[in-house]
Chain A
Amino acid sequence: MAKKLNILIVEDEFISRTLLKEILSPFGQCSMAANGEEAVDILQKSYEKPGGRYDLVCLDIMMPGMNGHEVLREIRRLERKNGLEGKNTTKVLMVTGLDDAKNVMEALVVGRCEAYLTKPVSKIRLEEQLRHMYLIEQVP
């Protein structure tokens, strides 16, 4: 049986957050954060708990307060601080309504996210991204 994933969904919009949780729940345990600050708080605590690290963070970009790029930089900073590298790092999937080159490049090149998905989300598109990141082999 495939490993159950530890997933964090960071999204300020209720409908998108709820639908992401519905799609991702069959693959593991989903936690949710409605803004960047809440996400960073959850992530910081996750490193203090053995086995608490998130396998996947689905991250919106445009949120009030701390945006997704800032959260992504914080994730990579926390990983460096905790000596995590390679397969022990968290895979980050940006899920956003922003499709301009500046945001895509910042997320992929500067933030080193693993994947970038523009809304609208669908079950097929999201599962495709999970397979590309080798988080799942096939749909459950």
Chain B
Amino acid sequence: MIKNMSQPLSVEKIKTHLAEQFSLPTDQIEMMLPSFLAALRSHMQNLENALEGNNPVLLGRAGHTIKGAFLNLGLDECAQVANCIEEKGKQGDTSIDYRSLVEELRLRLDPLVRI
């Protein structure tokens, strides 16, 4: 499990990242944010579905997709967890506790997307 996940996530953190890295104006960020959070919710659902299917390869793909989203939103610690799911899943590794990794992401994202 990835440690050092103590810093709380906030919408403000994402807004700051989008403003700094993409030079987006505040009103545009406000407009985009609901759809971005909805996308995160959808990616998390795909991860949960892959988990229930007990298929490491599908988990790896879902991990890869959400990793890209996390990275582009500046959620680097979440991206580390997603990267772990991706790498182990792609290897077909069944010795990993994927459920705890997905749960870690779910708890981490809960304040943002209420999943």
B24, B36, B64, B65 — most chain A CB neighbours (10 Å): B65
* Majority DSSP secondary structure for residues of B touching A: helix
Interface bits B63-91 vs A (CB < 8 Å: 1, else 0): 01101110111100000000000000000
- With both chains docked as a complex, state the minimum distance between the C-beta of B46 and any C-beta of chain A, in angstroms: 11
Indicate which residue in A15, A62, A124 contacts B39 across the interface (CB closer than 8 Å): A15
Are A18 and B35 touching (Cβ within 8 A)?
yes
Q: Which residue of A lies closest to B82 (CB)?
A: A97
For B6, what are the chain A residues with a Cβ–Cβ distance below 8 Å? none
**Which of B18, B24, B28, B64 is within 8 Å of A97, CB to CB?**
B64
Is B22 a contact partner of A97 (Cβ separation < 8 A)? Answer: no
Contact in complex: B39, A97 (CB < 8 Å): no
**Interface range for B:** 20 to 34
CB <8 Å contact, A120 and B21: yes
Establish whether residues B22 and A19, one from each chain, have CB atoms under 8 Å apart when the complex forms. yes
| Residue A134 is within 8 A (CB to CB) of chain B in the complex | no
Chain A residue nearest in CB terms to B73:
A15
CB distance from B43 to the nearest CB of A (A): 8
Residues in chain A near residue B71, CB distance under 8 A: 97, 119-120
Smallest Cβ-Cβ distance to B60: which chain A residue: A62
Min CB distance A26 to B, Å, is 10
B4 within 8 A of A: no
Chain B window 47-64, contacts with chain A (Cβ cutoff 8 Å), 1 for yes, 0 for no: 000000000000001001
A30 at the interface (CB under 8 A from B): no
Interface residues of B (CB under 8 A from A): 18, 21-24, 28, 32, 35-36, 39-40, 43, 61, 64-65, 67-69, 71-74
The 4 A-B residue pairs with the shortest CB-CB distance in the complex, in nearest-first order: A120-B71, A122-B21, A14-B39, A97-B68
Q: Using CB atoms and an 8 Å cutoff, list the residues of chain A in contact with chain B.
A: 12-16, 18-19, 22-23, 62, 64, 97-98, 119-124
